[in-house]
Each structure stands twice: as C-alpha cells, then as structure tokens.
C-alpha cells in the first residue's frame, strides 16, 4: 500500500486503485503508531476514486523532521576517508563505521525538502556536489517503522572534506533534500535483496549510474531508530535516511540542469532536476 500527498488531497494506492483520505491531515496520519493497520482498515471500507496525475504529487512531508545516518556502507566510509585525508579527518570515518553508536545528523525540514519533480540545489559556495540516494525510514512518534520512502541527501563534498565539522553546512541548505514519490506503508522490513538504483542524466544522456543492494547496509534500521529516539521525541513522526552506498567517482560533480533519478522498486522513483 502506498500513501501519496498531492495537490488534490491525500491518496492511498492499493492494487492499482486509489482512495482519497478525508478528515485527516498528513501530520495526523504520520502521528499514528498503527498507520499500516489503520490504512488497511480504511481501504476495506472506502470506495475507489479516479487517481491523481504525477504532476500533482507533493513532497511527503509536513511537520516531520528529516534526520540521516552516515557511513553505513563501506563505499561511503572509503569515499569520505579519501575526501577528508588532507584535513586529517579520515580516521573519524573509519572509526564511526565500526563503532557501536551510529553517526546520526539533522538533515532537513519541510521547507528545505522537495518532492518528485521538484528542483534540488547545489550550494552557491560549493564546487563539488553529489546526490546521495538513500532508503528512508518513516518512523512514528512511538519509534515504529511504519513505512519507507526514497531520500536524496544532497551533499557538498568539498565543504565536508575541508573539515568534518563543516558537515551541517555541507548537508543542510535550501533544496538540499528530496523525498518521495510517496510512502510505501508496511509493517514489514524490506528484503535484503532490495536494490537502490541511481541514474544521473546530463543533456538527456546517462552521465553516471550505479546500484547497491540493502545487503550492504551495515546497520539494522531498527538499531538506527533506537539511537535516534534516545532522549529525543518526534510528535509528528520523523524521516530517517539510512546512508548512501553509492558515491560517484571523485572526478564527478553535479551541474545545474542534471536530472537525478533514484529507484527503489517497491517504493517507486524519485526524480529531480538540479537547479
Ligand atoms: O559523515 C558524513 C555523512 C555521511 C553520509 O551522509 C552518508 O554516508 O550517506
Ligand atoms: Mg548521506
């Protein structure tokens, strides 16, 4: 079952049928610890309607914070060690990769986040920027994983590489996050064989593409959530990006006009232009 926030209201999609959710806001839905069961029950009683157009989709976020985990894949550890070695920061990434406590950082709010079809941005003072395609957990206020979406953790590698303490500036700026297209609502974990596929198009041609399986994610999503909720509360629920397993080669930087397409099969495709 997938949940979509659109200009025409909130829709549940089940077996290719669409159901309009009335009498609820995005925040009241995402505040429910029983979201999968609540929507399953709703669909049983509701009558299907005509669906919505892709252009009507909004980012699936309102009052939620967006957090992110870092260095959860071996590829991210290596890329970060390389980019920060001149700053003497490489050792920190190696240590956090194998530490018990994960790296968790504040990533975004609704105002800095775009949905599918929106534009993500390169920071005006950055010279080396990449998208980070990440499986994103949708977590209820009670700390239950109630669904999944796709996240793009846009990152300024030169700023982060200059000094790891610049991480918030490399990660949090206007248009630095994309989420969508909707939420796959399910109480069940995704299969380890689930693939995250990234394509970057420049002038309508593939400039870079790669994929990674969730088998390579070093941390259990439930453990990431457990750390995030230690002495922290999220009354409207929270999104947690689980880190990137795909990093383009060091010679690559995003340019305005590039299109970034991230697909995770059971969730859908998140597509954004840079600009
Ligand atoms: O440690 C810096 C950020 C790491 C990150 O965003 C990732 O691994 O996805
Ligand atoms: Mg990331």
Both structure tokens of 223: 């453990």
What are the φ/ψ torsions at residue 118 (nearest 5 degrees)? -85, 175
Rounded to 10 deg, the angle between the 74-83 and 90-98 helix axes is 160
Both structure tokens of 200: 């970057």
Residue indicated by tokens 């397409």:
261
CB atoms within 10 A of CB 24: 15
pLDDT value of position 34: 98
Q: Judge contact between 145 and 139, C-beta under 8 A.
A: yes
DSSP of 232-248: ---TT-EEEE---S---
Instruction: Answer yes or no: is the C-beta of 65 below 6 A from any ligand 1 atom.
Output: no
Average pLDDT for 206-233: 98
pLDDT tens, position by position, 31-87: 999 999 999 999 999 999 998 999 999 999 999 999 999 999 988 888 888 888 888
Most ligand 1 atoms within 8 A of CB, residue of 99, 155, 241, 245 to mutate: 155
Most ligand 1 atoms within 8 A of CB, residue of 92, 99, 103, 240 to mutate: 103
pLDDT tens, position by position, 240-274: 999 999 999 999 999 999 999 999 999 999 999 99
pLDDT tens, position by position, 106-121: 999 999 999 999 999 9
Both structure tokens of 95: 């240590």
Percent of the chain past pLDDT 70, that is, above it, reads 100
- Rounded to the nearest angstrom, the distance between the alpha carbon of 15 and the centre of ligand 2 is 32
Instruction: Answer yes or no: is the C-beta of 131 below 6 A from any ligand 1 atom.
Output: no
pLDDT value of position 74: 86
pLDDT value of position 89: 73
Question: What's the pTM value of the predicted model, to 2 decimals?
Answer: 0.97
Question: What number does the ligand 1 atom closest to the CA of 73 have?
Answer: 8
| CB neighbour list of residue 196: distance below 8 Å, 6 or more residues apart | 133, 134, 135, 211, 212, 213, 214, 245, 246, 262, 263, 264
Q: Is the pLDDT of residue 171 over 90?
A: yes
- Of all protein residues, the one whose alpha carbon is nearest to atom 7 of ligand 1 is 70
Alpha carbon distance 146, 141 (integer Å): 10
Instruction: Answer yes or no: is the C-beta of 80 below 6 A from any ligand 1 atom.
Output: yes
- Rounded to the nearest angstrom, the distance between the alpha carbon of 18 and the centre of ligand 2 is 33
- Of all protein residues, the one whose alpha carbon is nearest to atom 2 of ligand 1 is 70
- Rounded to the nearest angstrom, the distance between the alpha carbon of 255 and the centre of ligand 2 is 19
Percent of the chain past pLDDT 90, that is, above it, reads 92
- Rounded to the nearest angstrom, the distance between the alpha carbon of 100 and the centre of ligand 2 is 18
Residue indicated by tokens 């300024």:
156
Question: Pick from 90, 174, 65, 181: which is nearest to 125 by CA?
Answer: 174
The rounded mean pLDDT for the chain is: 96
């Amino acid at each position: 079952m997938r949940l979509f926030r659109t200009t025409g209201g909130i829709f549940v999609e089940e077996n290719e049928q669409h159901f309009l959710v009335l009498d609820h806001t995005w925040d009241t839905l995402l505040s429910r610890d029983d979201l999968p069961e609540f929507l399953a029950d709703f669909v049983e009683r509701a009558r299907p309607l005509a669906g919505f157009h892709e252009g009507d989709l909004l980012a699936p976020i309102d009052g939620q914070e967006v957090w992110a985990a870092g260095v959860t894949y071996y590829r991210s550890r290596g890329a970060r060690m390389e980019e920060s070695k001149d700053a003497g920061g490489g050792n920190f990434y190696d240590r956090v990769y194998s530490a018990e406590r994960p790296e968790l950082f504040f990533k975004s709010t609704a105002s800095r986040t775009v949905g599918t079809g929106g534009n993500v941005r390169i920071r005006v003072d950055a010279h080396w920027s990449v998208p980070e395609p990440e499986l994103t957990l949708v977590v209820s206020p009670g700390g239950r994983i109630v669904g999944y979406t796709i996240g793009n953790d846009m990152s300024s590698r030169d700023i982060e590489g200059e000094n790891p303490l610049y991480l918030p500036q490399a990660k949090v700026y206007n248009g630095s996050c994309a989420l969508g297209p909707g939420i796959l609502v399910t109480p069940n974990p995704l299969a380890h064989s689930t693939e995250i596929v990234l394509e970057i198009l420049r002038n309508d041609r593939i400039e870079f593409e790669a994929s990674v399986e969730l088998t390579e994610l070093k941390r259990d999503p439930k453990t990431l959530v457990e750390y995030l909720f230690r002495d922290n509360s999220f009354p409207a629920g929270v999104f947690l990006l689980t880190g990137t397993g795909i990093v383009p080669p060091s010679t690559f930087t995003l340019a305005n006009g590039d299109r970034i397409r991230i697909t995770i099969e059971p969730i859908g495709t998140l597509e954004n232009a840079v600009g």
